[in-house]
Amino acid sequence: MHPITLVYLIATLAVVVIGVVYLARRTAWVLATPRKGWYIVYAIVLVYSFIMMSLCKYGLGESFFINRLIVIGSSLCGVIICLFLCLAVIETVHHFHYLGRKTFGAITLVSTFLLCAYGFINAAHPRVKTVEITLDNLHEPVTVAHLTDLHLGHFRGKDFVRLVADKTQALRPDIIVITGDLFESHYHLADSVIAPLCALNIPTFFVIGNHDEYVDGMLIKKLVARNGIRVLANEKLKFGSLYIGGVDFLPADSAHSNHMRLPENGLTVESVMHELKANDTLPYLMLAHAPVGAEYYEPAGVDLVLSGHTHGGQFFPLTVINHFAFEYNRGLHRYKNMFFYTSDGLGTTGFPMRTFTTSELTCIRLVPAKQQEKN
């Protein structure tokens, strides 16, 4: 077993045990009932929710029945996290100013409900974020619709794609790029689901993400390709007045794989970029799911990398922790002569909630340096 996986399992088990003990004691105190029954209730609820969230994460569950179990269990996991966050604040207040049982329980119930409602609604409503980037060697403006991490499957299907497609069309982009994690399960894995996006008849490019690989990377590549979307698998091509390249879900190099496992073929961003160097002075746009490898993209002549994967942390406190886990966690960054942009993504992973991040559809407006000077 991989050391990181083992640490994750131990940490999860510890959280479940501590959570069961704490929630059972607090509930028994608020309701003035025996603790024993609550230990059993919370043990069942937490174990079930964590198992369902894990099934969701690794793309399992094809049948409608299993899908419902995963949706309920994963959503319940999000509710439990909201409950813990609210309790952390309420316990702090309670420590300095005693709250009676009824007051403690009422505040906990209302605050948890409001936080959950915010999380669910926030995740379900994509917002457009416009980013303007000036490139020295660009001859004419280019508008790029950057879509990433839709995670179609258990929580999102054709209706969500139609919503995203409508917002994308309104941007009137020259090209659409999808930087991985298009699907998260076999549920909703069908041509008809991505049809609204393909119907826009706008040149679209796709690179694979880790969740696509969990489901079936080769199957997803074939699905998007037969629907007119250009798959870029460690390759580049010339499109109009710029080059567009794309890499699979790869670690930066073999020495610094971070949280990512080295693929069986041994490829890394470092090894792939030796073959994908810029041929001339045309602008070079690179698509990558993981926001790593800037030190290898820039020497190869890449002007802008578009990525996703991190979700910006998706949910507090991961929104804070992710800044330490990823150098390019979210937003626009500069690495020497290259720009690096990481989107928060459109979908969610684990559970369908977001706090302090948004469901992001990014409108990248590439502007020639000469035009910028005139303005």
Give the chain's residues under pLDDT 50: 1
What's the confidence (pLDDT) of residue 362?
97
What's the confidence (pLDDT) of residue 261?
62
What's the confidence (pLDDT) of residue 70?
86
Residues of the chain with CATH 3.60.21.10: 126-374
What's the confidence (pLDDT) of residue 41?
87
Q: For residue 197, what are the CA distances in angstroms to 102, 117, 147, 167, 364?
A: 51, 28, 11, 10, 18
What's the confidence (pLDDT) of residue 6?
66
Residues 6+ apart with CB under 8 A from 282: 137, 238, 241, 242, 243
pTM (2 d.p.): 0.89
DSSP state of 242: E
What's the confidence (pLDDT) of residue 48?
86
Q: Which superfamily does 126-374 belong to?
A: Metallo-dependent phosphatases (3.60.21.10)
E runs forming strands in 222-330:
230-231, 235-239, 242-246, 284-287, 304-307
What's the confidence (pLDDT) of residue 297?
94
Q: What is the torsion angle, in degrees rounded to the nearest 10, for the CA atoms of residue 203, residue 208, residue 209 and residue 211?
A: 110
Calculate helix-pair angle for 64-96, 101-124, nearest 10 degrees: 130
Q: For residue 334, what are the CA distances in angstroms to 37, 219, 300?
A: 55, 35, 16
H helix count then E strand count, the chain? 11, 12
